[in-house]
Structure 1
Amino acid sequence: MKKPPSGLIIRNVSKRYANGVQALHDVSLNIPPGMYGLLGPNGAGKSTLMRTLATLQEPDSGQLLLGDIDVVHQKDALRQTLGYLPQEFGVYPKASAEELLDYFAVLKGITNRTARRETTEALLRQTNLWDKRKQKLGGYSGGMKQRFGVAVALLGNPQLLIVDEPTAGLDPAERVRFLNLLSELGENSVVILSTHIVADVAELCTNMAIINQGRILLEAEPLEAVAALQGRIWRRLIDKQALPALQQEHQIISAKLLSGRTLVHVYSPDQPGPGFEAAEPDLEDVYFSALAGCFGPAIEQQQTEAAGL
């Protein structure tokens, strides 16, 4: 009987760099098997947490557990079941995908030639690179290189797969192909998708957390988080020059250009004033509400209403 995949527990993890930057502040998360989104702006602490989970650096304090494995004190055990696709990684441009994947398979401990050939073929087919397996990696597109990175990360059937900002810089077609690949990977392991792109999490993840300035602002299921904002997001189309005055009056969580004007989204439990209409919330509203500090009150009010108080 196949052992069920283990979840990941992060308890009170903090990290301060030598330059004085406090990258993580007492971070705690419970990450079940499946696709998990870690969402936050650039510099929020996402990559610091991913590097710590990948045993590339140690936390100053706290505990990280993958099933029975203590990540900090059993690094070799964790690395045997880890797949890691960092934000930036290099390839040997003159090597083919088949050659380099075979080389990495040896490093992963797959020394039997037949088993290695079967493994590399299966992974290249899974990542839709089999037809390009003889092509030099220097001629691969950005999306093809990312898919090759996933093939390398999947060697050894890891229990923990970390992908850090995987769709940054991909064109729309490559992004769709890459997300389709990731969506297939969450059945047998913990897959952490670290990104600042809200749409990636919305399309892929059944659980998520939002991080900013090294602190967890929200941990929730995306659909439940969106539901918590029902009736609390309002929109209005304004001229750009009216934005500063409106910011003084209302809790604006986002503003973006639309047909030469500015579309603002406001967080408010009640209709905020003339000209505003109710907006159907989405995960982008959840993200900006959390960054603005609005989400805690929304959850509290929802819980109060559910309790009939």
Structure 2
Amino acid sequence: MLNRSTSDTVVKPPCGLTIRNVSKRYANGVQALQNVSLDIPPGMYGLLGPNGAGKSTLMRTLATLQEPDSGQLLLGDIDVVQQKEAVRQTLGYLPQEFGVYPKASAQELLDYFAVLKGITDRTVRRETTEALLRQTNLWDKRKQNLGGYSGGMKQRFGVAVALLGNPRLLIVDEPTAGLDPAERVRFLNLLSELGENSVVILSTHIVADVAELCTNMAIINQGRILLEAQPLAAVAALQGQIWRKLTDKHALPALAQEHRIISAKLLSGRTLVHVHSPARPAPGFEPVEPDLEDVYFSALTGCLGPASRQLKAEEVAL
């Protein structure tokens, strides 16, 4: 995180986020969240789900941009719904899409945002913006207009803005969508440094982002939490239960009637299916080491029941 000597913000101990029975229905009738409950500790936390699962609705609610219909959200001892200004003072938010002034330089615009954040002392502000631009690897491009930045550079600038004021809660919503592989690696390396003193929520539909970064996660779909787990524990709990078979596409319907197929993808012109089963499903299937993608698809297809919802590292042999 940013060196605390460059800011006049008082350092507060890290605190967790508690979400209890949060629901949200939009005016068009869409039930975006249904009794969502989560306990999010300090550190990197992944919120994983397909597009339209309710991730952005939950992020916008946590960012005080909208209110839930019911439920409670607490950041430490701060009530997110009732104490919006207190939350905003300690919040960093990088939405899925955000605008920049294309003719402004990164240094100019970050300085402007720092003023809005309440960093009024010019010396402190200069030290703060320099530290953030260096942390996000933008210092050498600080005088370049933002209109000439690549997608990844703009995302890193968004993180610099989100980090102003040393937030206790940092929300990043679908941050790697659209980034090329090199920019994605640089961006993930940056995010990995940010979870020491804050709650950092990574909302994404990209399984690899959560696998690489997060020590805790939840899987959400259709506004409901399907699984809350530590990624390593969730993967270990599937040992011996994932099987694969290379088949032809026309055989999929028959296989789907006989087995719990969790995923299917093309491989060398044929279809590779993964099946969830406690025992070998049938001749022709071979066991495969599970990964977080298997956990994700098992949850989405209903293979992980309520008894599997809370998985702790100490419950399995890692």
Query: What is the TM-score of this pair, normalised by structure 1?
Result: 0.96
**Is 1:11 aligned to 2:20, yes or no?**
yes
Q: Work out the CA distance in 2 between the residues paired with 1:193 and 1:100.
A: 25
The 5 Å alignment of 1:284-295 reads 284-295=293-304
Following superposition, the deviation at residue 267 of structure 1 comes to: 0.4
Match of 2:160 in 1: 151
Q: Work out the CA distance in 1 between the residues paired with 2:307 and 2:63.
A: 34
- The answer to whether the Cα contact below 8 Å between 2:245 and 2:274 also exists between their aligned partners in 1 is yes
Cα deviation code 1:276-308 (max 9, x no counterpart)? 0001000000000000111127839x99xx89x
Match of 1:134 in 2: 143
Counterpart residue type for residue 54 of structure 1: A
Q: Work out the CA distance in 2 between the residues paired with 1:176 and 1:257.
A: 26
Following superposition, the deviation at residue 247 of structure 1 comes to: 0.8
Farther off after superposition, 235-244 or 94-103: 235-244
Q: Work out the CA distance in 1 between the residues paired with 2:267 and 2:184.
A: 24
Counterpart residue type for residue 224 of structure 1: A
- The answer to whether the Cα contact below 8 Å between 2:92 and 2:171 also exists between their aligned partners in 1 is yes
**Is 1:65 aligned to 2:74, yes or no?**
yes
Q: Work out the CA distance in 1 between the residues paired with 2:101 and 2:306.
A: 51
Match of 1:78 in 2: 87
Q: 2:99 aligns with which of 90, 97, 120?
A: 90
SS in 2 for 1:57: coil
Q: Work out the CA distance in 1 between the residues paired with 2:307 and 2:149.
A: 46
SS in 2 for 1:208: strand
Cα deviation code 1:15-35 (max 9, x no counterpart)? 000001000000000000000
Match of 1:48 in 2: 57
Q: Work out the CA distance in 2 between the residues paired with 1:102 and 1:207.
A: 34
**Is 1:160 aligned to 2:169, yes or no?**
yes
The 5 Å alignment of 1:162-181 reads 162-181=171-190
Q: Work out the CA distance in 2 between the residues paired with 1:26 and 1:204.
A: 27
Q: Work out the CA distance in 2 between the residues paired with 1:263 and 1:277.
A: 11
Query: Cα RMSD over matched residues?
Result: 1.6
Task: Report the identity percentage.
Answer: 88
Match of 2:228 in 1: 219
Following superposition, the deviation at residue 248 of structure 1 comes to: 1.0
Q: Work out the CA distance in 1 between the residues paired with 2:307 and 2:276.
A: 9
SS in 2 for 1:295: coil
Query: What is the TM-score of this pair, normalised by structure 2?
Result: 0.93
Q: Say how many residue pairs are matched.
A: 304
Q: Work out the CA distance in 2 between the residues paired with 1:230 and 1:64.
A: 35
Q: 1:124 aligns with which of 124, 133, 145?
A: 133
Q: Work out the CA distance in 2 between the residues paired with 1:294 and 1:86.
A: 32
Counterpart residue type for residue 13 of structure 1: V
Match of 1:99 in 2: 108
Farther off after superposition, 242-251 or 177-186: 242-251
Following superposition, the deviation at residue 4 of structure 1 comes to: 2.4
Q: Work out the CA distance in 1 between the residues paired with 2:86 and 2:280.
A: 55
SS in 1 for 2:305: helix
Match of 1:199 in 2: 208
Unmatched runs of 5 consecutive residues or more in structure 2: 1-9
Cα deviation code 1:196-234 (max 9, x no counterpart)? 000000000000000000000000000000011100000
Relative to structure 1, the CA distance from residue 297 to residue 160 in structure 2 (aligned partners, 3 Å threshold; closer, same or farther) is: closer
Q: Work out the CA distance in 2 between the residues paired with 1:223 and 1:295.
A: 16
**Is 1:21 aligned to 2:30, yes or no?**
yes
Query: Which 4+ stretches in 1 moved above 4 angstroms?
Result: none
Q: Work out the CA distance in 2 between the residues paired with 1:142 and 1:100.
A: 17
Cα deviation code 1:253-292 (max 9, x no counterpart)? 0000011110000000110001000010000000000001
Counterpart residue type for residue 214 of structure 1: G
Match of 2:124 in 1: 115
Following superposition, the deviation at residue 130 of structure 1 comes to: 0.1
- The answer to whether the Cα contact below 8 Å between 2:227 and 2:308 also exists between their aligned partners in 1 is no
